[in-house]
């Protein structure tokens, strides 16, 4: 088990476009284990590999940890194959944008394809929080943060708040 530090905005490494995983091998599974450990340690519900400085198309997620039972999900090379016209709004946060929570509009339902940690292909139809979380994490693979979906004004306010929180943390 290895907990890895999570990059925070405006770290330029978060802007990298992640590359596809060619072979799901032991190194990939080790990276996935590190991602899961790092996500739980940071009390997150989702994490993309690029957030720990590994620009590979891998996402981990756990949307139902409430009873202390862990149920991590892994998505390798995820691709959205269909989106609903219907839009849903969720208040989003991100481990790479700490302390900031803002409403973001995304497709209410999606279909996606991905590989699991054994390299097996799956198709998923998602709605609600899962659909939002998948789209949020898949944005990370393109170097996009949820604050990039906000208006220019809201985005710069969020970044200022983030810088201030960072300064306080460094000072304290």
Nearer to Ni ion, 94 or 100 (CB): 94
Q: How far apart are alpha carbons 100 and 91 in whole angstroms?
A: 10
Give the residue at shortest CB distance from Ni ion: 94
| Shortest Cβ 94–Ni ion spacing (Å) | 3
Report the residue count for the chain.
172
Answer whether 42's CB lies under 8 Å from 99's CB.
no
Answer whether 91's CB lies under 8 Å from 45's CB.
no
Task: State yes or no: residue 60 binds Ni ion (CB under 5 A).
Answer: no
Tokens encoding 166: 């960072």
| Shortest Cβ 15–Ni ion spacing (Å) | 13
User: Of 11, 17, 15, whose CA–CA distance to 141 is shortest?
Assistant: 17
Instruction: Let me know if 137 is a catalytic residue.
Output: yes
| Shortest Cβ 165–Ni ion spacing (Å) | 16
Nearer to Ni ion, 10 or 119 (CB): 10
Q: Which residues partner with 80 through β-bridges?
A: 112
Q: Which of 85, 105, 125, 137 is catalytic?
A: 137
Q: How far apart are alpha carbons 148 and 154 in whole angstroms?
A: 10
For residue 33, which phi and psi values (nearest 5 degrees)?
Answer: -60, -40
| Shortest Cβ 168–Ni ion spacing (Å) | 22
Nearer to Ni ion, 16 or 119 (CB): 16
Stretch that binds Ni ion, among 61-69, 74-82, 86-94, 150-158 (CB under 5 A): 86-94
Q: Which residues partner with 98 through β-bridges?
A: none
Q: Could you say which residues in the range 87-126 bind Ni ion, by CB under 5 A?
A: 94
Nearer to Ni ion, 119 or 154 (CB): 154
* Residues binding Ni ion (CB under 5 A): 94
Catalytically active residues are 137
């Amino acid at each position: 088990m290895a907990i890895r530090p999570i990059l925070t905005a405006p770290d330029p490494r978060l802007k990298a476009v992640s590359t596809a995983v060619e072979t799901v091998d032991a190194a990939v599974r080790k990276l996935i284990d590190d991602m899961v450990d790092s996500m739980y340690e940071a009390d997150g519900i989702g994490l993309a590999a690029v957030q720990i400085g590994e620009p590979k198309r891998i996402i981990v997620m756990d949307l139902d940890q409430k009873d202390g039972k862990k149920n991590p999900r892994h998505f390798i090379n995820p691709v959205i194959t269909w989106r609903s016209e219907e839009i849903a709004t969720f208040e989003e946060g991100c481990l790479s944008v700490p302390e900031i929570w803002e409403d973001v509009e995304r497709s209410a339902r999606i279909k996606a394809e991905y590989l699991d940690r054994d390299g097996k292909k799956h198709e998923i139809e998602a709605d609600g929080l899962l659909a939002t979380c998948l789209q949020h994490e898949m944005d990370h693979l393109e170097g996009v943060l949820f604050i990039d979906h906000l208006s220019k004004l809201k985005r710069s306010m969020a970044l200022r708040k983030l810088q201030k929180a960072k300064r306080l943390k460094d000072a304290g």
